Structure 1
Amino acid sequence: MNELLIVEFFTSQSSINYTKEKKIFNEALKLVDKICLDFSENRQISKLHIIRNINLKKIKLKKIKYYNTTEGKDLKFFLKIFPKDIPTILIAPESDKISIDLYRNLRKELNLQHSKLNSLKIFSSKLKTAKKLASLNIPTIECKDLKKITKIPIISKPIYGAGSEMISILKKNNFKIDKGFVYQEYYPGKKASFSMLCFKGKCKLISCNSQIVSIDNNQIHQIGSIVGGMEKHRKVFKELANKISKNFKDLYGLIGVDIVKNKEIWRIVEINTRFTSSFIGLKSSYGDDVINLISNFYIDKKKNLESEIKLIRQAKVFF
């Protein structure tokens, strides 16, 4: 089947408060629209099906068909329209276990082209991610008991959070401990990310990116990426990618990994089992062949990971 269904959590809601959550919806819209624009240029794909709130903007292309959610017609209403074997890309945040819950709700209804539930459970939780990686001797940022963190400042993060959501720099240790948060040492080194295509324990490293980060009132925000900005570190990133894929064989599809450099060692901050916003700059940086490699992966039964990746130019993307 050369058709794809894309379900993105925020933009498929039947009722949205666009004013209150404008930044979230703008970022989600940019990502899904870019996937649609890039994938629609692949001749092997005949149709892209998108479930989207009726009040959000749409792209007018013959290959793209929208299904408008309203207060009377939610995501569940449209599931019965599609055959159960339609390849489906699911994009949902880790916040409040949203990605886990949505996966559980959809896996019997659709042919989800996604990492399995076990990986979602690990990588949706910053605490489980850190513990699991450490147990496998994969360099990471440990979550520690505050009594064991001797250096100030300290980073606090929600255990279940997406991206840079609610990440704070704590410059004093006399604060109230929140059970829903984890605490880590602050590493001021280079921030980066990479994307990889995973299938049955194997992977293809796609992009090597530098992150654009802002700090405002002791809140850390990733506001963008320079896609291809860390290409000189491809060899090291490839080693990390291989370690991840070999140890987590049910990772599937395009995966985003955030990392930080500390004392000449690149450490994994988190692993996102979904498309991330760095995809927006992927075509500009690495070209059509990389986009076709990814889009064909989701529609073909034979999963091809053999393709030469060459940087064309760096692309600065703001979320």
Structure 2
Amino acid sequence: MIYIIVFLILFAGMLLYIKLANKYLIIDRPNDRSSHTTPTVRGGGVIFVLSILIAGVYYYSDYGIPVLGVLLIGTISFLDDNMNISKLLRFFFHLLAVTLLFAYDQVFVLPIWAIIALYILVVGIINAYNFMDGINGITGLYSLVILGALQYVNIYQFSFIEPDLIWFPMLACVVFLYFNFRKKALVFAGDVGSIVMAFWIVFLLLDLILKSSNWLYILFLTVYGVDSILTIIHRLILRQNIFEAHRLHFYQVLANDQKMSHRLVAFIYAFLQVAICVFVIQSNLNPILTFLLTPLFLVIIYIIVKPKLMQQSM
């Protein structure tokens, strides 16, 4: 019953937000870097924040610190969606939220070099996840896959967190996809959506990894990771500023240059991540071999196929 109530609250919340966003012109207008062509409501990812806050109310005494991190990073991201926030201020809030996450997971008992490496890794993942949010359905579907994989592990293999802290964000993904997974989306996630979801997934993954001592779970981010890392390398080769907006991600080449349906591209990314999650969960191979083999297929596709597709569109 609680899940039906939460679903209805989230659905009503999305309808209300869309109405307010249209009234106050919280609109994403297309530019030459966009993958859409019509003005669309921006910031619908506030539904992810709402779902985590509801879970936080239920389990505040146990998870108040990471939920506070969501509030901090969600607030600055929503403001950044609607006004010109300095990069330094945005970075400060990201660091503050990640510090709360680390405090909750007792990361600060690790050696200083490991703490610094984790800061770089976590902030990098959050920003990469945000950069991957560029076509209809990709953030909602991909997040739903990762949360589903984490919930499977949580329920059937290694219990590491209250299930509702995964169920509620999954419900938010379903609600968001209803409005976003369309040929013409009614709403975009915005930074508030992609960054908050990235932060929460990193929180769940880090909690699972530290409690289980199994770093292979980081492979739940393989598809985004391969596209993000290889695109950065590609842009460095082209001597581009990697911090500026662009259209060189593999998914952007498929959607923009090859004119492939946004929904099909999002589905392909989600499907590939499902296959990888199943492989990671079920694999009996040596952990190092699993870690090396898992991204190899995607790396080969990226290196061979992407240049050919880009040449065809020239």
Which is strand-richer, 1 or 2?
Answer: 1
TM-score, normalization: structure 1? 0.25
> TM-score, normalised to structure 2's length?
0.25
Greater relative CO (CA pairs within 8 A, separation 6+): 2
Going by fraction, where is helix more abundant, 1 or 2?
2
